[in-house]
Amino acid sequence: MGEKPIIGVTGGLIKKNDFVEGPCTHQDYGRSLLAVGAVPLILPIAPSEIIEDYVSLCDGFILSGGDDVDPRFYGESPSPHIGVFNTDRDRSELLLLKKAVSSGKPVLGICRGLQVINVALGGTLIQDLSTEMKKTIQHEQKVPRMKTSHSVRVIKNSRLFSLLEGRKSLFVNSLHHQAIGRLASDLRAVSFAPDGVIEAVEHVVNDRILGVQWHPESMAAGGDPLMIRLFSEFVRQCLQVRREKSETAK
């Protein structure tokens, strides 16, 4: 087996017209993974019987950004302010996360992906920050995607704190209107926006599960060294999984 880990990146569905429709995710995911020595593989929305094949094929997964999460998966009805959601994608990714965790594969949740991790493990979401929080900063930035928008605070003694070279705070980009509501019991919040919105989570026992609310793939593609380091560490974990699989196969 080769030394480049295969990273499955979940994709949404985009329709340009009746003749052009298919799986899609932002190009910065692929750019950032290629830059740190991984092989990105975009995963179309799939039925449950295919998810096991995804888990077998890939060494790790990025749950990418995209549409809102269908609130039925955390026991709520849709708010008038919720955006578009794709129930099939949600169902596919929730199952993928659970199977990836049980198989020991690393998972990096980004923006919507962080929210999927929380829902999969029993948490809930704020369906719309601007209408459900009394005071909130701007989380849907107006500046380009690679640019940073607001600060976040990072909790000391967290894995994220070490990964970010001991930075207590940093500026990140922000492209979301939903956020974690009730935190899943298996997760620990390790970063917060100035208004209290949870910006990053870690699994309390599994160091291969991390979620961030911002978009490190675009910051990394823009040359941000800390976000490049985040991707490098994720790929290192996935490479370890690949090596473990290779040793087992001998």
Mean pLDDT (whole number) for 212-236:
97
Out of 203, 215, 233, 238, the active site residue is 215
Residue 112: which of 85, 141, 80 has the closest Cα? 85
Residue 238 falls in the annotated catalytic set: no
176 is catalytic: no
DSSP state of 242: H
Set 176, 217, 233, 238: catalytic member: 217
pLDDT recorded at residue 15: 82
Is 1's pLDDT higher than 50?
no
The C-alpha atoms of residue 153 and residue 174 are separated, in whole angstroms, by 14
Residue 215 falls in the annotated catalytic set: yes
Confirm if 136 and 183 have CB atoms less than 8 A apart: no
pLDDT tier, 105 (very low <50, low <70, confident <90, very high otherwise): very high
pLDDT attached to residue 2: 61
Mean pLDDT for the stretch of residues 88-92: 97
Q: Which of 111, 150, 202, 238 is catalytic?
A: 111
Tell me the average pLDDT across 100-117: 97
Architecture label for domain 6-249: 3-Layer(aba) Sandwich (3.40)
Query: Is residue 32 predicted with pLDDT exceeding 60?
Result: yes
Q: pTM of the predicted model, to two decimals?
A: 0.95
| Phi/psi at 209 (5° precision) | -120, 120
Looking at residue 250, its pLDDT comes to 67
Question: What are the boundaries of each domain within the chain?
Answer: 6-249
What's the chain's average pLDDT? 95
CA distance 179 to 87: 18
Strand pairing report for 12-17 and 6-10: unpaired
Residue 55 Cα to chain centre, angstroms: 16
pLDDT band at 222; cut points 50, 70, 90: very high
For 220-231, letters b (16+ CB in 10 Å) and e give bbbebeebbbbb
- Residue in 69, 63, 94, 93 with CA at minimum distance from that of residue 83: 69
129-181 pLDDT tens trace: 999 999 999 999 999 999 999 999 999 999 999 999 999 999 999 999 999 99
Q: Express each pLDDT in 50-82 by its tens digit.
A: 999 999 999 999 999 999 999 999 999 999 999
